[in-house]
Chain A
Amino acid sequence: MANPLEQFTIKTLIPIQLGEIDASLTNSGLFMVISVAAITLFVTLGMGKRSLVPGRWQSLAEISYEFIAGMIRENVGNDGRRYFPFIFSLFMFILFANLIGLIPYAFTFTSHIAVTFALALFVFLGVTVIAFIRHGFHFFTFFLPKGVPVAMAPVLVPIEILSYLSRPISMSIRLFANMMAGHTMLKVFAAFIIPLGIMGGWAPLAVDVALTVFELLVAFLQAYVFTVLTCMYLNDAINMH
């Protein structure tokens, strides 16, 4: 029986060596390229006609635009608008990665913590830098809440700092664990279909069909959660409350 974790192995497709750095194109990298290409095609072709009454593809592109614009307006406010391109790209990248990963034989690169942690770390560092630029050393009042007795500071400040540092970890673990668990589960049930034969194989097949629908929901939901959290952190950085 196939190993359910085999689908997550990274395979080198085109070896590239830049000095000491191994910059080979792997299956993970290939699907990142595919995702970016698909997003670009989706948005440019969708908006190509720019008709007043949108067609199907234009509607989809507009819905995704409005979805993210609304998310930023709700969670960050007007100041967040300038970060729209980044947040939109982040959302589309994760969403397309999750959805393309559901196609059989495709590779889900969001099921690797290296990828999700890199994304989360980038968001974390970016948000911290924005907070510093906007508030300077006021930023440290993040960690020492107002009106707290000084005697409590040695306990509270480390807890606040740990809580702050845990942000990228929780973001990346959530995305990677969801994708990996979902795909492993699909594979485990799929592996029972053929061995159980024409009599018993229907049960795992039915489970797999249900799981696939559920995974579609999870794919969207995790992209949404990742982006919403980015918006919330951005809101903290910009508005500091």
Chain B
Amino acid sequence: MSDDHPNKDLKDLDNRLKQARQEGKIGAPENRPGGTGDASGFSMAMRVGSELVSALIVGVVIGLLLDNWLDTGPWFFVLFFFLGAAAGVLNVYRAASSMGSAPGYIRPEDKIDG
């Protein structure tokens, strides 16, 4: 019955893995850390910076386009500059408070079913 050998070895390995996991020598697949701490800190910094700027860019571009289109002087530019700045701060707040980047303030507990 030499055909059994690979399976037997595997079972043996499985048992040893289980044992090692229980003893805490190696992490179970579910709770192995995904990324490294340093890397995510650095990426967080990069993220916050670009979130702030990008919303401002979108606001300013929309304001300028509306002004161009409706010929309304600097008014839409001014309005959307501030809206963009507010959206940027909102983005940063969301990114920093690890709410992900979900729009709105809908919390998981009162999420819409649909």
Contacts and interface: CB of A to CB of B under 8 A. Distances in A.
Given A74-B34, A146-B110, A170-B54, A160 B39 contact: no
A163 interface: yes
Contacts of A164: 103
Interface string A161-179: 0111111011001100110
Contacts of B78: none
Interface stretch (A16-24, A191-199, A232-240): A232-240
A218 to B, nearest CB: 9
Contact of B55 (A162, A174, A229): A162
Interface stretch (A4-12, A30-38, A39-47, A137-145): A137-145
Contacts of B69: none
Nearest to A164: B103
Interface in B60-79: 62
B62 A143 contact: no
Contacts of B111: 239-241
Contacts of B59: 162
A177 B54 CA distance: 12
Interface residues of A, number: 45
Contact of A224 (B35, B54, B90, B110): B35
Contacts of B39: 217, 220-221, 224
A163 B53 contact: no
B55 A166 contact: yes
A158 B103 CA distance: 12
A135 interface: yes
Nearest to B105: A145
Contact of B88 (A146, A166, A240): A166
SS of B interface (majority): helix
Contacts of A67: 34
Tell which of A143, A217, A240, A241 has the most Cβ of chain B within 10 Å.
A241
Contacts of A146: 104-106, 110
Given A138-B112, A146-B106, A241-B102, A162 B62 contact: yes
Given A71-B34, A224-B43, A241 B106 contact: yes
B1 interface: no
Given A162-B62, A232-B100, 13 more contacts: A74-B34, A141-B106, A142-B103, A146-B106, A163-B87, A170-B54, A173-B50, A174-B50, A221-B46, A233-B101, A240-B106, A240-B112, A241-B107
User: When A and B form their complex, which 7 residue pairs have the shortest distance between CB atoms, in order from nearest?
Assistant: A170-B54, A162-B87, A166-B55, A169-B54, A241-B111, A163-B87, A174-B50
8 contacts: A70-B34, A142-B103, A162-B58, A170-B54, A221-B39, A221-B46, A224-B35, A235-B102
